[in-house]
Amino acid sequence: MNQKPNINIRPPIVTILGHVDHGKTTLLDTIRKTNVVAREHGGITQHIGAYQITHNGQPITFIDTPGHAAFEKMRSRGAEVADIAILVVAANDSVKPQTTEAIKHIKKAGIPYIVAITKTDLENINVDKVKKDLQGADVLVESFGGTVPVVEIAAIKGKGIVELLEIILLVWQMSPQPSLPNDPLEAIVVESYLDKNRGSIVSVIVKKGTLRVGQGIEVDEQMIKVKALVDDKGKTLSQALPSTPVEILGFRKVLGVGSIVREKIKTKGIEKKIATHQDIIEKSLLAKDKFKVILKADVLGSLEAIKANLPEKLLVIFQGVGDVQTTDVNFAKGAKAPILAFNVQIPTSVQKLADGENVVIRKYRLIYELIEDMQSIAESFEKTKHEVKIKGKAQIVAVFDIEGKKVAGLKVTNGKIKVGDKVIVRNSSGEGQETNVTSLKKFRKNVEAVTYGQECGIAFATNLDFKEGDIVESLG
């Protein structure tokens, strides 16, 4: 696998998950040390929460903070940092409670994963039993007819390390992500601590954009200029491209894992826009199913009262007590959901971030106003969502009885109607009957489709009760 790296594809970011004492840290250390030995000169590496190696000329970034707790904490804050997960299972211990919990988190994230069966150099192990136990945990590996690749590892002896790196690159080739160095900056905090000599140290992985020394950045209401960037080998950098792990010097305090670092937003000349109902509807339409919102309230009692009275078609995907924070905005951006702020403050920096990210925030002082607003929006949302699905519309202009079955004469008023389409026939009061189109005729000839302005005869799969003036909506 000696392919040249594609500079338009960013390196994969890999996380290691699994049960305690199953060899996650040993595996990470072995990969790092193997890569150091492979270089022309040895270098002292430092733990900054992540590191990057090169295999066959292709970089791979590993998150050096193994554990599904950190992984889920990042995701809960809207930080989708990992591209590939490695599920570590010890050959002598098989599937354990934390293994099944890690599987749940991986599947929830929807990212590809690889099983690494570790400690295969020990005596009296049964790798097939491990694979069978994984099958019981809803993980079907390739050798058992599934799609999840498996690598057998003995990290201390270096067995399986090269094979694992090869499979990581193969998996990444199946669904690579483009490198976007010119996009707006988005870097995710993977570790943060206080150093007595250097102050607050924040380790990030750049997901998109470019992080530069001297750049103005902001995160969790801190705005700073980057003083220095240091990689996992202790080398000072002038910039960090997508998938690069790097330490940022210049923060005044430590940050939470999963915080998202962005370039300081320039707001000069931008007028603040009041969010309309249509803004919220358009944002939620992108979510496709239920109308999703994020709810922030002043106290727990208000929060519960609001939730108890919201329309059924509305789904609260995140809730909290207290002022709207940058983390709320980042989560809202990822979820494509508006923020409902009841009797809480929206700091200027948070509002600026929301404006820059096109996140809708609606402020309320009275619960009944919020509820009425949401009922109105939810109804409009459902109507708009249905309109989006409609591929064609026609009016029934005549009704015929042919061999005991009702057939309609149509005039298409919008879009297209085809044979086989699912349709809804609506009467003047808006009540609808669902069926399918079995045939279309123009001038007694069968046709496959009719479009705007055309007239035709239509036959339905079921014998419906309809009359002139009723509307036929095609859902395709």
User: Given 323, 357, 387, which residue is the final one in a domain?
Assistant: 387
Q: Is 181 a domain residue?
A: no
Tokens of 284: 């939620």
**330 and 214 within one domain:** no
Q: Is 124 a domain residue?
A: yes
Domain CATH for 48: 3.40.50.300
Four-residue CA torsion sign, 202, 56, 35, 170:
positive
Q: What is the number of structural domains in the chain?
A: 4
pLDDT tens digits along 366-406: 888 888 888 887 776 666 555 556 788 889 988 888 777 88
Q: Is 87 a domain residue?
A: yes
Tokens of 157: 């002896």
Q: Is 422 a domain residue?
A: yes
User: Given 336, 359, 387, which residue is the final one in a domain?
Assistant: 387
Quick one: how far is CA 244 from the chain centroid?
20
User: Is the pLDDT assigned to residue 411 strictly greater than 50?
Assistant: yes
pLDDT tens digits along 135-159: 999 999 998 989 999 999 998 888 9
**448 and 367 within one domain:** no
**85 and 23 within one domain:** yes
Taking residues 295-320, what's their average pLDDT? 82
Expressed as residue numbers, the domain containing 334 is 277-387
Q: Is 292 a domain residue?
A: yes
3-class SS string, the chain: CCCCCCCCECCCEEEEEECCCCCHHHHHHHHHHHHHHHCCCCCCCCCCCEEEEEECCEEEEEECCCCHHHHHHHHHCCCCCCCEEEEEEECCCCCCHHHHHHHHHHHHHCCCEEEEEECCCCCCCCHHHHHHHHHHCCCCEHHHCCCECEEECEHHHCECHHHHHHHHHHHHHHCCCECCCCCCCEEEEEEEEEECCCEEEEEEEEEECCEECCCEEEECCEEEECCEEECCCCCEECEECCCCEEEEEEECCCCCCCCEEEECCCCCCCCCCCCCHHHHHHHHHCCCCCEEEEEEECCHHHHHHHHHHCCCCEEEEEEEECCCCHHHHHHHHHHCCCEEEECCCCCHHHHHHHHHCCCCEEEECCHHHHHHHHHHHHHHHHHHHHHHHCCEEEEEEEEEEECCEEEEEEEEEEEEEECCCEEEEECCCCCEEEEEEEEEEECCEEECEEECCCEEEEEECCCCCCCCCCEEEECC
**127 and 37 within one domain:** yes
**125 and 26 within one domain:** yes
> What integer pLDDT is reported at residue 366 of this predicted model?
85
Supply the pTM of this predicted model. Answer: 0.56
Q: Is 361 a domain residue?
A: yes
**364 and 287 within one domain:** yes
> What integer pLDDT is reported at residue 156 of this predicted model?
87
Domain CATH for 220: 2.40.30.10
Task: Give the highest mean pLDDT range of 344-348, 384-388, 472-476.
Answer: 344-348
User: Given 387, 416, 445, which residue is the final one in a domain?
Assistant: 387
> What integer pLDDT is reported at residue 2 of this predicted model?
44
User: Is the pLDDT assigned to residue 37 strictly greater than 60?
Assistant: no
> What integer pLDDT is reported at residue 237 of this predicted model?
95
Distance, CA of 115 to CA of 18 (rounded, Å)? 10
Four-residue CA torsion sign, 187, 292, 328, 18:
negative
pLDDT tens digits along 270-298: 344 455 555 555 555 554 556 788 999 88
**208 and 356 within one domain:** no
* CA max distance for the chain: 92
Distance, CA of 347 to CA of 234 (rounded, Å)? 37
CB contact set of 284 (below 8 Å; sequence gap of 6+):
291, 292, 293, 336, 337, 338, 381
pLDDT interval class at 167 (50, 70, 90): very high
CB distance 84 to 111 below 8 Å: yes
**101 and 18 within one domain:** yes
**58 and 143 within one domain:** yes
> What integer pLDDT is reported at residue 43 of this predicted model?
41
- 201 phi and psi, to 5 degrees? -115, 125
- 132 phi and psi, to 5 degrees? -70, -40
CB atoms near residue 214 (< 10 Å)? 11
**427 and 292 within one domain:** no
Quick one: how far is CA 49 from the chain centroid?
22
Q: Is 208 a domain residue?
A: yes
Mean pLDDT of the chain: 83
Tokens of 278: 């249509």
Domain CATH for 333: 3.40.50.10050
Q: Is 336 a domain residue?
A: yes
**408 and 360 within one domain:** no
Taking residues 427-443, what's their average pLDDT? 84
CB contact set of 371 (below 8 Å; sequence gap of 6+):
306, 309, 310
**324 and 399 within one domain:** no
